Amino acid sequence: MNETFIGENLMPGRIGHFFVITALVASALSLISFLNAMKSDTPEKKRGWMNFGSALFGLHAISVLVIFSSIFYICSHHLYEYMYAYKHASLELESKYLLACIWEGQEGSFLLWALWHALIGVFLLRNKETNFNETWKAPVMSIVSVANFFLMMMILGIYFFDIRIGNSPFTLTRNEIAAPIFSQPNYLSFIKDGMGLNVLLRNYWMVIHPPVLFLGFASLLIPFAFACSSLMNNAYTDWIKPSLPWVLFGGIVLGIGIMMGGKWAYESLSFGGYWAWDPVENASLVPWLFLIAGMHTMLIYRATGHSLHASYLFILLSFIFVLYSTFLTRTGILGDTSVHSFTEAGKAINVMIGIFVLSFTIPSLGLFFSRYKKIPSINKEESTDSREFWMFIGSLLFFLSGVFIILITSIPVYGKTPGLSRLIEKIHGGPLAMPEDPEFLYNKVMIMVAIIIGLLTAITQYLKYKSTPRPAFLKKIIYPTLVSAVVVAMVAVFYPFTYEKHGAGFLIAIYLAFFSSAYAVIANGWYMFSVTGNNLKKAGSSVSHVGFTLMIVGILISSSNKKVISDSKVNGIQVPTGNDPMTKKKEDPTENLTLIRDVPTRMGRYEVTYQKDSSGNEKGRKFYHLNFDEWDEKFETKKPAFSLEPDVYIMKDNNMSSNPDTKSFLHKDVFSYISYAINSEQNTDTAQFKVYDIGEGETAFYGNGYFTLNKITQNPVTDKFNFKPTDLALMAELKFVTKDSFSFTSTPLIIADSMGVSQWIDTVYSQNLYVAFTGVSENRKIKIGIKEATGLIDFVTVKTFEFPWIVLVWLGLIIMALGMQLSLLHRVTWKNAYKWTSMVISSIILFYLFLLAN
């Protein structure tokens, strides 16, 4: 304990900071050892340096685990003397979100990335497969050590003169915040709670999405390292085989991680969807597109010897753009255009991130282009009737898609880059700005990509490498082609797409993309059963293609036929709803339906009742219970369907953050979020009850009309009450008639038991009226208390969508990942397959979580 400041627990921070320095030094020394192993001229020296480097890397990995554990301890024990815990943890935070506190901040996310690098490095060092022999270990591990050296620098937090190198997660709050209380020995007694996790991150997907995403990012380093190592050692043809399993693994995990982010957005953000072409979403997608392009060119090379240059380029760029996505996300350069990006962390850390990116980009691409002419190639062009020709076209299309996406996404960067901004202004005639409707720009380009990719995915499997006899090809492809045409025709007739926002031309493009994607699903399924003979070891690519194109089918259907069912024209009540959180455009008030408490309101085929609200565990969080009854138009009856509980956080500045709730069916999701809610703390009510003495059959006047006491019932048995004959309860049945001739009933209740006399106050929310049975007067008349509330009527405004067949999106992802896992296990020696199984077991578990969550 500190002798000056009461209650401080400095030991976890000291341990954590000590191991940050240890991890940094160990990574640097392991790098030196691996480099010496590469230069050693005898096997004994090489083995000695490798053993020393392996031991140091093991120390580095242990140190990273200790750092991670220290941060978790600090956050979970709410040690607010540490700035990291104060910024990210709070007492109200549920325990399941404590892990998310670690990677909410810059430092924790860098640490998570380093942790995956460390664990992968340990796996590589212990790997005994012949594909990864001693020739590869030293150069590959040297590159892993360089990456983790940079990541440790990011969390070092040591001053070099006036410049702080990295941001330490173990800095003390009193050293970071200038406030008078921190000069007092008992300052911790004034800190009642931390700031807590961002309300948008309080979702179970944020506990598992970032680790999976960062595992995907970390795994892309390994094929990058193999490619660089082969260029350094002039071993141009040997790197494909040992790196291909890592490419498949990265494709699985990064793809899952990206779509888990989509699932989080679907469940936590109120823009009504799972993808919004947000810049940070794009920055994570681009490396995956480059990786998939590289995967296919590597398969081409293994089969034919073609596309080795392209394989190098695509694999190098996949990890380079992981680093570039880090630059976009963490420097704050996208702060005005993305809901995901971190705020700016300071000039020093931004410079460090820039150096990190350039330290991998310049040497790797420089090495590639300097060795370009030495890389073997086959001068003979591929035949247009060969599998490799169309596989390369597909790979090139994936690559160009990634280039297009990143060029548009980086527009905010151009204006902040000295020299480049002036050049663009000179050429463009002014500053370059994002298009007015960037979402449509992405969609209209990517819909054309989807058309071509779908067609290529459908037919390429039926082609042979080098050359394909035309009669045999036509015989195999004719049946899936006819079946696909029939399926699409039936969809067009019985379930037409209704998306007409951008005109008939774009609608036609949607139909073409649907045909090509459905064609790919059917053709690959047909190929899997008719050609591979259900041999799962050989069917991995077909399964992956079915999953990928099924996901595209789900995206097209759910996006094209998505409809808003909350139509305020039904009840005519409109409230200000503000701007859409993603597009920043003014929301259409007619698409937001206002629900008055306890008043059933028609919403499409449903009748919705806002029944109650309840407070969540976190301060300012409130859940709204919405009951949906489904109408049977034929019989004009309704039946209970389901309930939703969207919630909101009322912030300290009275802004509102809304989290949607979803009811999933096989064929659709009903998705609803709160677009406007009353701040109950500001909605004060100063009205008092006014008591009336009234007899049975008599009438009395109140502020907005009159009411009549119809009868008194002893121990009533109704939908609301079920008293026994031995109970002592009286219920008054009152009829109210307003000045505008609306009538309604109210049934307040008074109960006497061993605990005394209690009242059940009836609330008529449509009239802002509270009615109480307060007692019986001396002349045996009934005392009725009426309060006409002065506060706002209790209501909530919701926006509700129907997403048809969105289940196909998530199902397609799972099938694609399983197919890639089959391909992965097919390409490693079965003697060591258990090691790869242990590497992917976490993703398999996440598949099941994914299914259960739906």
3-class DSSP string for 343-410 = CCCCHHHHHHHHHHHHHHHHHHHHHHHHCHHHCCCCCCCCCCCCHHHHHHHHHHHHHHHHHHHHHHHC
Residue linked to tokens 């598949």: 847
Enter the DSSP assignment of 135: H
Whole-number Å distance between alpha carbons of 10 and 501: 59
Q: What is the 3-state secondary structure (H, E, C) of 267-333?
A: HHCCCCCCCCCCHHHHHHHHHHHHHHHHHHHHHHHHHHCCCHHHHHHHHHHHHHHHHHHHHHHHCCC
Tokens of 782: 């009934």
Whole-number Å distance between alpha carbons of 733 and 714: 11
Averaged in consecutive runs of 10 residues, what is the pLDDT profile of the chain (854 residues)? Answer: 76 95 96 93 89 95 96 93 92 84 90 94 79 79 96 90 86 88 88 85 84 93 96 91 91 91 83 82 93 95 93 97 90 60 62 92 95 90 87 96 92 75 71 79 93 94 86 87 92 89 89 95 88 71 93 94 79 54 57 83 87 78 90 71 88 70 91 82 68 90 90 83 82 90 88 75 79 84 86 81 92 90 72 52 49 45
CB 603 within 8 A of CB 644: no
User: Residue 462, Cα to own-chain centre: how many angstroms?
Assistant: 36
- What pLDDT was estimated at residue 830? 45
CB 635 within 8 A of CB 604: no
Exposure letters 293-308 (e unless 16+ CB within 10 A, then b): bbbbbbbbbebbebbb
- What pLDDT was estimated at residue 423? 76
Residue 808's closest CA among 550, 513, 514, 451?
550
Establish how many alpha carbons lie within 13 A of residue 503's alpha carbon, considering only the half-sphere containing its beta carbon: 4
Query: In DSSP terms, which residues pair with 519 in a beta bridge?
Result: none
Alpha-carbon distances, residue 463 vs 255, 471, 513, 530, 704 (angstroms): 27, 11, 22, 14, 80
The enclosing H or E element of 109 equals helix 106-126
Residue 611's closest CA among 784, 795, 453, 846?
795
- What pLDDT was estimated at residue 777? 82
Residue 738's closest CA among 767, 759, 712?
767
Whole-number Å distance between alpha carbons of 758 and 748: 11
Instruction: Say which amino acid occupies 162.
Output: D
Cα torsion 557, 257, 411, 104 to 10°: value is: 130
Tokens of 127: 């790997």
pLDDT, tens digit, 9 for 90 and up, residues 689-745: 889 999 988 999 988 899 999 999 888 887 667 788 888 888 999 999 988 888 888
